[in-house]
Structure 1
Amino acid sequence: MDGSRGNLPAGLRGDYAAAGPDFTLPQDWAAYPPADHATWRRLYARQTALLPRHAAAAFRAGLARLDFATGVPDFAQASARLRAATGWALVAVPGLIPEDAFFAHLAARRFPVTHWIRRPEELDYIVEPDIFHDAFGHVPLLTQPAFARFLEAYGRLGETAARIGALQPLARLYWHMVEFGLIREAGALRAYGAGILSSSAETLHATAGAAPRRLRFDVRRVLRSDYFIDDLQPTYFVIDDYADLFDATQDLPALLAEARDAAPIPPGAAAPGDQPVT
């Protein structure tokens, strides 16, 4: 690796010097100390207690297939199960990686997972995504075929978005629909987004809280909707089926350009055409 971290912020805690040109590095699962496995199990127990009432069925089924309960997951074992389900695999990375590397991994059905875990004093909030957020939050839904197709298509759109200066609208789509997405199941709202399901506070806020605005998924609205990166979300978008996400990517190049040239919608604000979901 040449030492460049592209557009990444300074002060990230991962070992970027050990990463290759594609920002991957060996996971070295055997090197995790017992304390890291204990932190994982503590987080896992807390979050899984919320899943029956608040998590989407596909997330729960995917988590059961991956067998993550005993400690920090082994990426090689998890990848074997993902390949059998949807053709995806996991790659270890030092933390946040540049957008072009991230898009390239997704387009090749490789999901980048931070290899380190938070400290015990960071159980409730962590500034950077860690292995629990990435693996527990994101990986179970990669067993869902329609969602897996959407995420691959999203990665392939990265080059187009960069070329036309529309990376911010594309980032909004990932934030709202991958990190903080909701789905309606049997008349109830359930969470599938990683940012929700890796956080106990966000899980309760998103699915049961009275304050958030919950809107029917509209890709044009999503591409213009700004968000908070350090607070509970004021707005969530609700799909009826994971195929809705993949279908939305078919017209996305033109819609990205449209959103690039439109005024953003502030976090929590209403907009014409909003369709609330209760």
Structure 2
Amino acid sequence: MLKQFHRAEANPQLPGWQAYVVDQGWDRFSAEDHETWDILHDRQTALLQGRIVSRFMDGLGRIGLGDGGIPELGRLNDRLQPLTGWRCVAVAGLVPDEAFFAMLGERVFPIGNFIRTRAELDYLEEPDCFHDIYGHVPMLADRAVADAMRTFGEMGVRAIAAGEGDKVARMYWHTIEFGLVREEGETRILGAGLASSFGEAAKSLEDPAIERRRFTPATAVATPYRHDAMQPLYLVADGMDEVVEALEGPLP
């Protein structure tokens, strides 16, 4: 039986993607929630040394996620917005694809307003605030990636309207969520799903049973993926420039 994910409900009194935004309510997070964040942050940062693209570590340093406890989004935005114009908003859970890509098109990133339990430290199927903030936001501090993500959001809205939502979802999955990239002669992590997963990060690079194929935009949009288990297949781009170009489209 598939786990029931947190899903956001729209506020009918608000327009468009704004209908899914909620107050973070930072004060409601418990001491255990903040301790969980600290455990995840510290061990993931140690694990990713030498395993993730340099732009991620550069961004992590710029936005400072290791200050202690779950970041308060207002303070996080004070660091992020001057860098690339992006800001984060809290949502109650997964938002529909149309709203998600519309957010990206306006340099807004949705943050799931909950954190995993201690029993789920190593792997979590659905995106919580650790995945959304730690996995994604450091890359949004990079100007080239941030601009490409905005363009990709706009493209995603058009693709869904044209009945090609599956293509844009697969491109996003095989780059921003679970992509690998060649950098300095080594294969490194790009995707936020790997960056935020202690169980899957090293496995994606080191498990000989996992298939790793060369990334091309055509391969990405044609390759299905699993959202309910660790991935059996990853696509490896030749470099970050190739990923940025793919996100800026057009879709194959």
TM-score, normalised on structure 1?
A: 0.82
The corresponding residue for 1:133 is: 131
Question: Cα offset for 1:161?
Answer: 1.1
Question: Cα offset for 1:10?
Answer: 10
Work out the CA distance in 2 between the residues paired with 1:16 and 1:208.
39
**Contact 2:105/2:150, CA 8 A, preserved across alignment:** yes
Distance change in 2, residues 1:35/1:17 (3 Å): farther
**Contact 2:6/2:94, CA 8 A, preserved across alignment:** no
Distance change in 2, residues 1:220/1:14 (3 Å): closer
Matched, 1:206 2:210: no
The corresponding residue for 1:189 is: 187
Choose from 190, 198, 222 the match for 1:224.
222
Q: Name segments (4+ residues, structure 1) moved above 6 Å.
A: none
**Contact 2:102/2:153, CA 8 A, preserved across alignment:** yes
Q: 5+ residue gaps in structure 2?
A: none
**Contact 1:181/1:237, CA 8 A, preserved across alignment:** yes
Give the CA RMSD over aligned residues: 2.1
The corresponding residue for 1:78 is: 76
Distance change in 2, residues 1:78/1:64 (3 Å): same
- Secondary structure of the 1:127 match is coil
How many pairs are equivalent?
246
Choose from 163, 166, 172 the match for 1:165.
163
Q: 5+ residue gaps in structure 1?
A: 1-8, 256-278
**Contact 1:213/1:236, CA 8 A, preserved across alignment:** yes
TM-score, normalised on structure 2?
A: 0.90
> Residues 42-94 of structure 1, C-alpha deviation per residue, up to 9 Å, x if partnerless?
11122112111211111111112222121101111111221121111111111
Work out the CA distance in 1 between the residues paired with 2:142 and 2:248.
19
Work out the CA distance in 1 between the residues paired with 2:24 and 2:211.
39
Work out the CA distance in 2 between the residues paired with 1:172 and 1:91.
24
Of the two, which has the highest radius of gyration?
A: 1
**Contact 1:92/1:114, CA 8 A, preserved across alignment:** yes
Question: Cα offset for 1:16?
Answer: 3.6
